[in-house]
Amino acid sequence: MRKRFVAFGVLVIAFLIGYKIFAPNERPQRIRIATGGESGVYYAYGNALADILERRMNIPVVTIQSGGSVDNIRILRSGRADIAFAQNDIMAYAHEGINIFSTEGGFKDFSAAVCLYPEACQIVARRDIAGIPDLKGRRVSLGDEGSGTELNALQILGAYGISYADVDVDHLSFGASVTAFREGKIDAFFCTAGVPTPAISELSADGEVRLLNIGDAHARTLIRQYPYYSRQIIPSGVYPGMDEEAETVAVKASLAVSDKLSPQVVADLLKILFESRAEIAKISAEAALLNDKSALDGMSIPMHPGAEKYFFDR
Neighbouring C-alpha atoms within 13 Å toward the C-beta of 275: 10
pLDDT of residue 220: 94
pLDDT of residue 41: 86
pLDDT of residue 25: 53
Instruction: Report domain extents, the chain.
Output: 30-119+253-312, 120-251
What percent of the chain has pLDDT above 70?
92
Query: The domain 30-119+253-312 belongs to what CATH superfamily?
Result: Periplasmic binding protein-like II (3.40.190.10)
pLDDT of residue 228: 87
Positive or negative: CA dihedral 65, 145, 152, 172: positive
pLDDT of residue 210: 94
pTM for the full predicted model: 0.80
- Check pLDDT > 60 for residue 9: no
What confidence tens digit (pLDDT) does each residue in 31-89 have? 999 999 887 889 999 999 999 999 999 999 999 999 889 999 999 999 999 999 999 99
What confidence tens digit (pLDDT) does each residue in 163-188 have? 989 999 999 988 899 999 999 999 99
Instruction: Identify the CATH assignment for 120-251 out of 3.90.1150.10, 3.40.190.10, 3.40.50.2300, 2.60.40.10.
Output: 3.40.190.10
- Check pLDDT > 60 for residue 225: yes
- Check pLDDT > 80 for residue 15: no
Q: Find the radius of gyration of the CA atoms of the chain.
A: 22
Q: How many CB atoms lie within 10 A of CB 212?
A: 22
Whether the domain at 30-119+253-312 and the domain at 120-251 fall into the same CATH topology: yes
pLDDT of residue 6: 43
pLDDT of residue 20: 35
Which residues sit opposite 246 in a β-bridge?
Answer: 234
pLDDT of residue 293: 87
What confidence tens digit (pLDDT) does each residue in 106-160 have? 999 999 999 999 999 999 999 999 999 999 999 999 998 878 899 999 999 999 9
Rounded Cα distance, 296 and 291, in Å: 9
Rounded Cα distance, 312 and 180, in Å: 47
- Mean confidence (pLDDT) of the chain: 90
- Check pLDDT > 60 for residue 196: yes
DSSP string, 191-242: EEE-SS-HHHHHHHHHSSEEEPP--HHHHHHHHHH-TT-EEEEE-TTSSTT-
- Check pLDDT > 70 for residue 206: yes
What percent of the chain has pLDDT above 90?
76
